[in-house]
Amino acid sequence: MTKEKAQARREHLQKMRDAQKAKERRAAFLMWGAGGLVIVLLVGVVGFYLIKRAQETSLDGVASVKYEAGQHVWNAVSYKETPPVGGEHNNYWQLCQVYDKPIHPEHAVHSLEHGAIWITYRPDLPKAQIDQLKDVAASTGQQDYMLVSPFANLPSPIVVSSWGHQLKLTDPGDPKLGAFIKKYQNGPDTPEPGATCGGPDAVQTTAEEAPLPPEPQQQQTPMDTTSPSASPSASQ
């Protein structure tokens, strides 16, 4: 009977050990299963965020055109796009800053040639949204290459332009605005990347403050009547 009791005891202990191992395996399975589920959920959330962010910042809506650079003129220009994104422009560029009144597009296009981004908005845009656009311009890494101004008859409430590229927007908080600035400010299509958007030759006035500058008249050197070439004998 002693041997039978001992055998029974061993069998009972073995069953307890087996039960404990089975319990541990179930706990490990649940733990790893839960961990795997968390990882799957995290991957899903991150993937969803990245896809959503990519869609929000997609620049598929950007319209692009080609223009020859360096076409300096003194006259007013009739542009195809509203606002313009390239082509003929005034010899003087617009100082890159925020304007509360419209500026001459002929000056602004010259700034685009130097790598600037031009944010234009309808004059009747709510002040709160205009302030948002100004904040966007102030928060960029290259504030020296940002133009902001109202523009009449825009095809959408907000239009952001660079040389050869343009995007229409309705909301100043649209992530596409920042994505456009990041890609096209002094971008690869800029004819004169890094050229100044300021300096003493930059125009700082709005369209109503000053007209387009007239073409400078070439100054003729007065004839020196004392020189031999001015005498009748020398001209013969």
Q: DSSP characters for 11-23?
A: HHHHHHHHHHHHH
Residues in contact with 3: Cβ distance below 8 Å, sequence separation at least 6, in sequence order: none
pLDDT values of the chain reduced to their tens digit, one per residue, 236 residues: 577 777 777 777 777 777 788 787 777 777 777 777 777 677 665 654 455 555 567 999 999 999 999 999 999 999 999 999 999 999 999 999 999 999 999 999 999 999 999 999 999 999 999 999 999 999 877 889 999 999 999 999 999 999 999 999 999 999 999 999 999 999 999 999 989 999 999 999 999 999 999 998 864 444 443 333 333 333 33
Nearest to 195 by CA among 161, 144, 160, 148: 144
* Of 162, 165, 169, the residue nearest 129 (C-alpha): 169
Residue 226 DSSP symbol? T
CA-CA distances (angstroms) from residue 186 to 41, 141, 164?
40, 12, 12
Cis bond leading into 200, ω under 30°? Answer: no
